Structure 1
Amino acid sequence: MPIEYLNLPVLPTVKAHLIINCVLVFLTLVVVALRIIARFESGVKLWWDDFLILLAVPQGIGMLVIQGMWAPMGVGYPATETLPNLVPILKMLVAYEFIFATCISTIKMSVMFFYLRVFVNDGLRLATKLVIGFVLLWSVGNILQVFLICRPFAATYDPTIKGKCGSQVVSFIAIGAFNVITDAIILTLPIPTIWGLKMSSSARLGLSAVFMIGLIVSVVAIIRIISLTQLDLTNLTGTMVWADFWSTVEPNLGIICVSLPMLSRLRSRFTSRRGASKLEGPSSECTGSYRRGNAATGRLGPTMPTDHRHDEAFGLETLYGSNKQVHHASIVASGTKPPAEAPSRDGSEEALTLQPANPGQDKNGILVQTKWTITSN
């Protein structure tokens, strides 16, 4: 007997949620496109962290598509009014859970491969690889629970089939809790390395803030867990309004947050070009660099082969000078390039350099390089 689909008017709250997530997905596409442009602008090839984000984008879009398909099927209505749509809604719920689990895992893997691309510290790289293994196991468990929560599997989406099912709500909450925990672990991984650099406290705070921007996603994940506690499978359509909304927000916001730091190169170039067109009077450029070494090897990480990673850079934000017009760009880079020579002070030209604590040390490791263009007022 064919299933009769019942179309119901979309409730205002559900419509607002759908519009917000459509805007969010659009912003996700824009940010990821700018990320790819920034990578090509830097003259380097895409790496695994970029490919993984590109893989996560269609998964985030898939979450929005399912949310849109659910909207006219009675989201927000009591289950007694949406009973004819229950089976298709539950079938899409299985797909929704699967896509959510794979998308979140893909984003986490992208962040950790970014760490492997940028940092050469042996301890950080080892810790990152261990966390990658843990996240992979966590992801497999998430995916398996989607298909093993009920025996037989058909009982997951068809209430008329007799079977044994675990508590899906408890499962959703457990997955969300592990999600928040792994987010915290991943985001704090590079902090000890950053605070081991010979930089000003404000620069270290700024760089730490860039890496910790993903905490916004963790806040959303916690809100999502709270909404899941209100979910009642006996009245699914009547209680899934907010869980549906936040479950689509979380992965798409995650893609944006992990991609925003990559746009610093575009911003720096735009700012420097814009500032260069407004320069009046003499100006100069100066470059300072510093390499952080450890006690055992004299450098932060192992000797790196000459490959594309020596061109990798991560933007910082700093502010210098109150009576001068300053245009600057600061980067943290890994590789084998020696620091550039800074010009000497001449008239209105002012050279600002950061000298290494040990000039004779190995030139491999993390390079913190700052470039200033200073114009006297």
Structure 2
Amino acid sequence: MFDYIEFPMLPIVRVHLVINCVLAFLTVSVVGLRLVARFVTGAGLWWDDYLILFALPQGLGMLIIQGLWAPMGIGYPVTETLPNLETILKLLVAYELIYSTAIGTIKVSVLLFYLRVFVNRGLRMATKAALAFVMLWNIGNILQVFLICRPFAKTYSLTVEGECGDQVASFIAIGAFNVISDVIILTLPLPTVWSLKMATPTKFGLTGVFLVGLVVSVIAIIRIVTLTRLDLQNLTGTMIWADFWSATEPNLGILCVSLPMLGSLLSRCLPSRRGNTKLAYHSSGNGANGSAFSKLKDQSQTDTQIPLENIYAANQEVHYQSAVGAGRTPEPLRTAPDADKDKDSGSDVALTDQPTHLSDQKNGIRVQTKWTISHN
């Protein structure tokens, strides 16, 4: 397929390739489980899932190019690998293009996920602004691949006359914007999460769920550091670590944004604990209109479980009923005039005439809460 002189693979290059192969296997497995979780809850797929499915083969493509480079002399001085250099440069063009589109696709997927589950107007506007920024950023990344050298053939050919801009500086600038956009995207929902009426440990848990992607930002920063040490005049001798981290970042990004989506699957596999409550919401229609956080309910201070099952149950209707009575009141509780109306409108509390089943006590307040979840 490619005409090149084969070199013995250096041990460090082999280790890098094995690590990314294992990561790719885990990524494919987690994405598969993500799809299973979506169908198990009856929610089906939406645009954020489709984009992850689109990004997955791109991440695997980065790994394939890393594997093709490995026997071409990666780690050897360019004076020894000169016969392979043009082939390496051609693969580098594809490498840059795939990297840009893969990272951009992952970011757009996360932002579309926010638009699907949040109804807060301020957050949605900020998400749309971030979405526009990421798309423009991604277009700029793609254009620089084709415009950094004039003519374009100079990018990969050693014999074509022409000139190129500072490619290393371009790589670093792209990486810096990548890290900045990661931080912006991952912190967008945090003000909304901390404004919810739920236990503080639960808020910390949800914060951790949304910030798990910062692991990818750390990798992106490390990648920038390795790019500063890249010398295009000795490309094969200085690209070992830049090659490794560039192939790692997209697959790790897909893995990190997919892991939190397995909450519904885990909640079905693990035995439920008494006293735990889940995020509940009222949604209708498809994922675009029904939002998981549109009707979050108050949770008890002992709530520690943070499954994301209900975020992915797109066609569920939640009815919430609460009966409150004093311990010295023997008669059944009276029905609030607007109880049925509140229940139908998805309001937080509806008093009912259902008698309490708690044991009789001489003092104190008795509360009975009933949740009913039905599929439309």
Q: When the two structures are superposed, what TM-score results if normalisation uses the length of structure 2?
A: 0.79
Deviation readout 1:34-79 (Å, 9 max, x if unpaired) = 0000000010120000000000000000000000000000000000
C-alpha contact 1:4 1:84 (8 A) present in aligned 2: no
Deviation readout 1:176-230 (Å, 9 max, x if unpaired) = 0000000011001101110110111111111011001000000000000000000
Correspondence for 1:206: 205
Correspondence for 2:230: 231
Q: 1:341 aligns with which of 321, 330, 334?
A: 321
- Mean Cα deviation higher: 199-208 or 239-248: 199-208
C-alpha contact 1:224 1:243 (8 A) present in aligned 2: yes
Counterpart-to-counterpart distance in 1, 2:38 and 2:113:
13
List runs of 5+ in structure 1 lacking aligned partners: 276-283, 292-302, 346-358, 373-377
Q: 1:6 to 1:210 in 2, by over 3 A?
A: same
**Structure 2 SS opposite 1:340:** strand
RMSD (Å), alpha carbons = 3.5
Question: 2:58 corresponds to which letter in structure 1?
Answer: Q
Counterpart-to-counterpart distance in 1, 2:347 and 2:217:
31
C-alpha contact 2:111 2:131 (8 A) present in aligned 1: yes
List runs of 5+ in structure 2 lacking aligned partners: 326-338, 350-368, 372-376
Correspondence for 1:278: none
C-alpha contact 2:279 2:308 (8 A) present in aligned 1: no
Counterpart-to-counterpart distance in 2, 1:288 and 1:58:
34
**Structure 1 SS opposite 2:6:** coil
Question: 2:216 corresponds to which letter in structure 1?
Answer: V
Q: Is residue 118 from structure 1 mapped to residue 129 from structure 2 by the alignment? A: no
Correspondence for 2:193: 194
Counterpart-to-counterpart distance in 1, 2:112 and 2:345:
24
C-alpha contact 1:310 1:335 (8 A) present in aligned 2: no
C-alpha contact 1:150 1:164 (8 A) present in aligned 2: yes
C-alpha contact 1:337 1:363 (8 A) present in aligned 2: no
- Mean Cα deviation higher: 250-259 or 155-164: 155-164
Q: 1:62 to 1:261 in 2, by over 3 A?
A: same
Correspondence for 1:181: 180
Counterpart-to-counterpart distance in 2, 1:371 and 1:272:
21
Correspondence for 2:6: 7
Counterpart-to-counterpart distance in 2, 1:62 and 1:125:
33
C-alpha contact 2:141 2:174 (8 A) present in aligned 1: yes
Counterpart-to-counterpart distance in 2, 1:339 and 1:134:
39
C-alpha contact 1:335 1:364 (8 A) present in aligned 2: no
Counterpart-to-counterpart distance in 1, 2:192 and 2:99:
31
Counterpart-to-counterpart distance in 2, 1:319 and 1:220:
37
Correspondence for 1:135: 134
C-alpha contact 1:121 1:365 (8 A) present in aligned 2: no
**Structure 1 SS opposite 2:270:** helix
Question: 1:76 corresponds to which letter in structure 2?
Answer: G
Correspondence for 1:41: 40
Counterpart-to-counterpart distance in 1, 2:185 and 2:306:
30
C-alpha contact 1:100 1:251 (8 A) present in aligned 2: yes
Matches within 5 A, 1:207-356: 207-272=206-271, 306-308=285-287, 333=311, 337-341=317-321
Matches within 5 A, 1:14-93: 14-93=13-92
Question: 1:129 corresponds to which letter in structure 2?
Answer: K
Aligned pairs, number: 330
Question: 1:99 corresponds to which letter in structure 2?
Answer: I
**Structure 2 SS opposite 1:161:** coil
Larger radius of gyration: 2
C-alpha contact 2:38 2:45 (8 A) present in aligned 1: yes
Q: Which runs of 4+ in 1 moved over 4 A?
A: 284-291, 308-315, 318-322, 326-336, 342-345, 359-367
Over the matched positions of the two proteins, sequence identity in percent amounts to: 58
Counterpart-to-counterpart distance in 2, 1:268 and 1:146:
45
Counterpart-to-counterpart distance in 1, 2:279 and 2:102:
38
Matches within 5 A, 1:159-178: 159-178=158-177
C-alpha contact 2:148 2:165 (8 A) present in aligned 1: yes
